[in-house]
Amino acid sequence: MTSRLIKGLLFDLDGTLLDSAPDLTAALNRVRADLDLPPVSVAAVRKGVSRGAQGMLELGLPGVSGADLAQAKSDFLHHYAELGCSHSEAYPGIEVMLQMIEAVGMPWGIVTNKYESLTLPILRSLGWDQRAGAVICGDTAAAAKPSPLPVLMAAEQVQLPASQLLMVGDDLRDIEAGQAAGCSTAAVAWGYGEADQFGQDVADYIFMKINQMHDFIKQIIDASDGDQSQQVQRDQNPPDQDSEPDTLSSACR
């Protein structure tokens, strides 16, 4: 488990901050209706959300392949763009957490594999587009997660080294991307990823419930405040430049 000082946070979007399964399922059901298929429930395809359109279609349209699957994917993305944030909501407690982070001036950002054309309208609907210090989408960087490139791009935008950031997500790709970039990592269990993908040593931290993440962020804030207080104290009490070093004490430590 890491003990590095964390000064900022990066979040995956779907399954971490946002429950987008209702709108994604509605888009899938429009495709199914075009194919004269009955609707499916959110619960039936929820686990496909973390794998994007491909994952949703694999669960929602089994047996469809080739040109038919390509057309279904195009239709699905069109329907999802129309729906946007019609039924999606931030998970309970997420908004409070973001306000807690912002209250102390700690930067945060979003790193998602969802395309910009789909992500940005959703963030505007939630009011997050002007609050996040970084928004990196699946087509923003040269590669998407699990590549570290989008995480490193987000680190640059929030103006912190990756080593001082916590990457939070519900899918193994989030953790792998964060680790490859040099971030501390946290896996969350309330999203769409399979619980058994997170072994005890996969991520630095695992949060089963949002209130656990709240408590951890309070600890991060307290640790950051303590570090700043120590720096102020050092600045106010600089070492005496004319004094001789305590060579005996240094040698004996």
- The b/e string for 191-202 (b: 16+ C-beta within 10 A; e otherwise) is bbbeeeebeeee
- Predicted local confidence at residue 195, as pLDDT: 58
**Residues 9-38: pLDDT tens digits?**
999 999 999 999 999 999 999 999 999 999
Domain ranges in the chain are: 8-17+89-231, 21-83
- Which ranges in the chain belong to alpha helices (H)? 21-34, 42-45, 52-60, 66-83, 94-103, 116-126, 149-158, 172-181, 210-236, 247-252
Euclidean distance between CA atoms 83 and 99, whole angstroms: 27
How would you class 99 by CB atoms within 10 Å of its CB: exposed for 0-12, middle for 13-18, buried for 19 or more? exposed
Contact residues for 196 (Cβ-Cβ < 8 A; gap 6+) = none
pLDDT at 42: 95
Distance CA 172, CA 15 (A): 12
Token code pair at residue 177: 């991307």
Q: Tokens 């949060």 belong to which residue?
A: 207
What pLDDT band is residue 3 in, cutting at 50, 70 and 90?
low
pLDDT of residue 226: 60
- Report residue 152 as tokens: 């490193």
User: Hey, what CATH topology would domain 8-17+89-231 get?
Assistant: Rossmann fold (3.40.50)
Q: What's residue 104's pLDDT?
A: 96
What is the DSSP code (8-state) at residue 4?
P
Sequence-distant (≥ 6) Cβ neighbours of residue 201 within 8 angstroms:
none
| 14 a catalytic residue | no
Res. 46: pLDDT tops 50: yes
Predicted confidence at residue 47, as pLDDT, reads 85
pLDDT at 7 over 60: yes
Mean pLDDT across the stretch 129-133? 97
Distance CA 185, CA 151 (A): 12
Marked catalytic residue, from 12, 19, 170, 204: 12
Q: Are 216 and 98 in contact (CB under 8 A)?
A: no
Give yes or no for residue 232 having a pLDDT over 90.
no
